[in-house]
Structure 1
Amino acid sequence: MLVEVLKSFGLSEYEAKALVALVSKGTLTAKEVSEISGIPRTSVYDVMNSLLSKGLVESFGKPKRFKALNVSDIISVLSRRVNENIEILRRELSKLETEEIDVIRVYRGEMVLEKLRELVESAKREIVGVLSYIPESVAEILRRATCRLILISSNARAVENAESYEFEKKEEVARSFKNFCHGIFIFDDERTFSIFINGTQIAIMSESPAVIEFSKMVMIPVIEFMRRKND
């Protein structure tokens, strides 16, 4: 297990085995490292030179003997390398990132409600939603909204803090609505979140200005109609 953990920090299997041997046994010759770790004699000097170049091992004397750094120093060296690699990833990946990569994101399963919760709690100005039916799991999340919340649904009044509009429905249709939830939200005119829950859960989030504008063109007339109807 320890060898596998060390490999996750960029060491080869032989390097990890040699380092474990040195930490556990102390100062060793290359021959002794080979015997304890099982590294082939033909490879052990290359392995030790690699560990020396990585700053994890010291060497001294004739015949040459090797000693690992103390454990805290080994952890410090490995941590520094990890942090350097993360910084390189952050810098280089950001250069490759384009708007198209982030325009559409698909969420499934538990991540649907997790993302909805994040969007609701981070909304600053307005949330608009048009849904067939609001299950309690979604209603509980929507009640967390601290900004203006406008909902149109067969049971919009289930969310007490919303400006709610319920469309007329026949009893048979109402019963079928309770079996699934589908609809769309717009958050602060910056993101759309299309949701579908029917046993499985799936949602699509978009930050595309074109998708947001299209969604508003569809939703705003419906909201205005419902407002006139309720006046």
Structure 2
Amino acid sequence: MESIIESLEKFGLTRYEAKAYIGMTNLISGKAEEIARASEIPRSKIYNTLKQLDKKGFITITHTRPLEYHVVPPSEIFKNKKDELIKELESSQEKLDEIYNDNISEIQAPVWLIKTSENIINKEIEIIKRARKSINMRIGFLLEGEGEALIKAFKELPRGVPIK
């Protein structure tokens, strides 16, 4: 139970909100008093807790007298939260890559100590992806999988970047 609460807290829920949501998954729907009992949350805290869960999309409220609360299925919640997180991470990565790529050309070319064929190929691909003006390469022997990786990276370059 504690691990579920911690997972829900990672989604931005408070401890009471996490406990209320867990209680709601047992009840499916109910009134505030029932949810407070099932969740072991003080009645004085349950109304605000449920209001916040509604705002965050974890439950819905039917405006009857008394109010009735309905749980949003966990599979729907987790799918939406995963999608939001992935979009946020991809956006951050794009912005950081842009900053990095804009500034990398302004520093002196670094010297790298790279171990393993996979890391060598990954560094080549990284350099190719940063190219904006042209690419000049001399290729002697190829490592296993290097040719395919280079061709794929070349195809993903923006139009107009000459390759020699």
TM band (smaller chain): 0.5 to 0.7
For structure 1, the residue ranges without an aligned partner over 5 or more in a row are: 107-111, 128-143, 148-231
Distance 2:94 2:17 in 1: 29
For 1:5, what is the secondary structure of its paired residue?
helix
Contact kept? 1:56, 1:68, Cα under 8 Å: yes
Distance 2:138 2:34 in 1: 69
The share of aligned pairs that are identical, in percent, is 24
Q: Tell me whether 1:78 sits opposite 2:78 in the alignment.
A: no
For 1:66, what is the secondary structure of its paired residue?
strand
Instruction: Render the CA deviation track for 1:175-224: whole Å, top value 9, x for unaligned.
Output: xxxxxxxxxxxxxxxxxxxxxxxxxxxxxxxxxxxxxxxxxxxxxxxxxx
Distance 1:12 1:125 in 2: 58
For 1:75, what is the secondary structure of its paired residue?
helix
1:81-160 → structure 2 map (5 Å cutoff): 81-94=84-97, 97=100, 98-99=103-104, 116-117=115-116, 118-122=118-122, 125=138, 146=143
For 2:69, what is the secondary structure of its paired residue?
strand
1:55-66 → structure 2 map (5 Å cutoff): 55-60=57-62, 61-66=64-69
For 2:41, what is the secondary structure of its paired residue?
coil
Contact kept? 1:15, 1:51, Cα under 8 Å: yes
For 1:146, what is the secondary structure of its paired residue?
coil
Q: Which residue of 1 aligns with 2:5?
A: 3
Shift of 1:96: 5.4
Structure with max Cα Rg: 1
For structure 2, the residue ranges without an aligned partner over 5 or more in a row are: 125-136, 145-164
Q: CA RMSD in A?
A: 3.5
Instruction: Render the CA deviation track for 1:86-138: whole Å, top value 9, x for unaligned.
Output: 2443355446544499x87x9xxxxx9xx6113334557569xxxxxxxxxxx
Shift of 1:24: 1.6
